[in-house]
Structure 1
Amino acid sequence: MRMERRDSAGLGEIRPELLDVYAEIYADRLGEEFHTVERFDERLGWNTEVPGFAAVVGYLDETPVGYAYGCTLQAGTRWWNGLRTTVPDGATVEDGARTFALSELMIVDKVRGTGAAKAIHDELLRGRPEERATLLVEREHPKVRGLYEGWGYEWFAEVLPFADSPLYDAMNLRL
């Protein structure tokens, strides 16, 4: 698998391919308002506007088979909105340098179980200056949560980021 790093400017030319990968992975959930391609594209757009945005795309031949992206959480971020768990004072205070939010990590079926997800994840976080990374994993996917725990993430809180979104577990990884 060949990997390419992208910033927000370099994402535009491959955005349609990324949306195709999303549609393949979420094919059985595209009828849910939160999981439509349009809503995903909107969330992707929000991320690309934030300082510290980065993406890594994995290719087999010339076809994208997975990607991950995120951005540095800024002061006043909405990332922690919808927390349903009490957390220590200051644990969600962001200053534009503390936390990298891994917004998405997607891998198509044909490369699952090959280490592609971990490789893309590690490449995305390689050299990040933040002290921690955070991500959200659907509560209904304990197997995925277990995968992240195996990579060193620890459970942090329960969060419902949008009224129509699934319930998530927020997880943090010390960088």
Structure 2
Amino acid sequence: MTTAPAIELRTFTTLDTIRGDLLDIYADVRAPLLHLPNYAITAFGERLDRHGTEPGFAAVLAYADGHPVGYTYGTTIEHGNRYWQRTSPEPAEKYSERPAVALKEIGVRPTWRKTGTARRIHDTFLSIREEPFITLMVNPAAGDGKVHALYKSWGYEEIGQSQPSPASPVLSVMIRASR
């Protein structure tokens, strides 16, 4: 890993001023997959708009020279949330009995990968959250398994699987303590 370049991390709690930046970064990050229905920009835009109205929405974007280079966003999930209902096996009660934060998306433009930018975005996001646990879903095949391995190196453990929609691949559900 090389030294992280100079970036500015900005935190947002609405989509008002960042929706375009999120779509732009997403299109670059997911370029090889955009032909698949679940990864199409329109499908992401619909998910983004829905997530932007959910409780606890927050996002952290990274900018270099004023240009967006990476992002993450997430929402608060409560006990009984469909996120937990779709997780199999049912997660241990210690994870779902109190509100948790679901990291919905994280992405860094290809030219910014392996710079520590994704970890800085992730850790900044965690620093603004109050929930005791953070959970995410990842395609275990992403990056030939490297993305899953990266999350494990960040302290996440796999607790189950989920298929959020018929067009989605089966995803690994991972979780860790927020602090």
Fold-level similarity (TM above 0.5): yes
Quick one: structure 1 residues 63 and 78, their matched pair in 2 at CA, closer, same or farther if it must change by over 3 Å?
same
Q: Which moved more, 1:22-31 or 1:143-152?
A: 22-31
**Does residue 34 of structure 1 match 2:33?**
no
Aligned to 1:153: 156
Aligned to 1:118: 119
Q: Which runs of 5+ in 1 are unaligned?
A: none
State the distance in 1 between where 2:96 and 2:62 align: 32
Q: Deviations over 1:49-97 (max 9, x none)?
A: 11211100000101100000001003442213433x3245536645xx5
User: How many correspondences in the alignment?
Assistant: 170
Residue identity in the other structure for 1:49? T
Residues 4-153 of structure 1 aligned to structure 2 (within 5 Å): 4-8=10-14, 11-83=15-87, 85-87=88-90, 90=93, 93=96, 97-141=98-142, 142-153=145-156
State the distance in 1 between where 2:33 and 2:156 align: 26
Identity %: 36
Shift, 1:144, TM fit: 0.6
Aligned to 2:3: none
Residue identity in the other structure for 1:113? K
Quick one: structure 1 residues 173 and 33, their matched pair in 2 at CA, closer, same or farther if it must change by over 3 Å?
same
State the distance in 1 between where 2:94 and 2:170 align: 20
Secondary structure at 2:114 match in 1: coil
Contact 1:81/1:159 (CA < 8 Å) preserved in 2?
no
Residue identity in the other structure for 1:3? L
Q: Which runs of 5+ in 2 are unaligned?
A: 1-6
State the distance in 1 between where 2:107 and 2:149 align: 16
State the distance in 2 between where 1:92 and 1:150 align: 20
Quick one: structure 1 residues 62 and 127, their matched pair in 2 at CA, closer, same or farther if it must change by over 3 Å?
closer
Residue identity in the other structure for 1:38? T
Shift, 1:129, TM fit: 1.1
Residue identity in the other structure for 2:148? R
Shift, 1:18, TM fit: 1.2
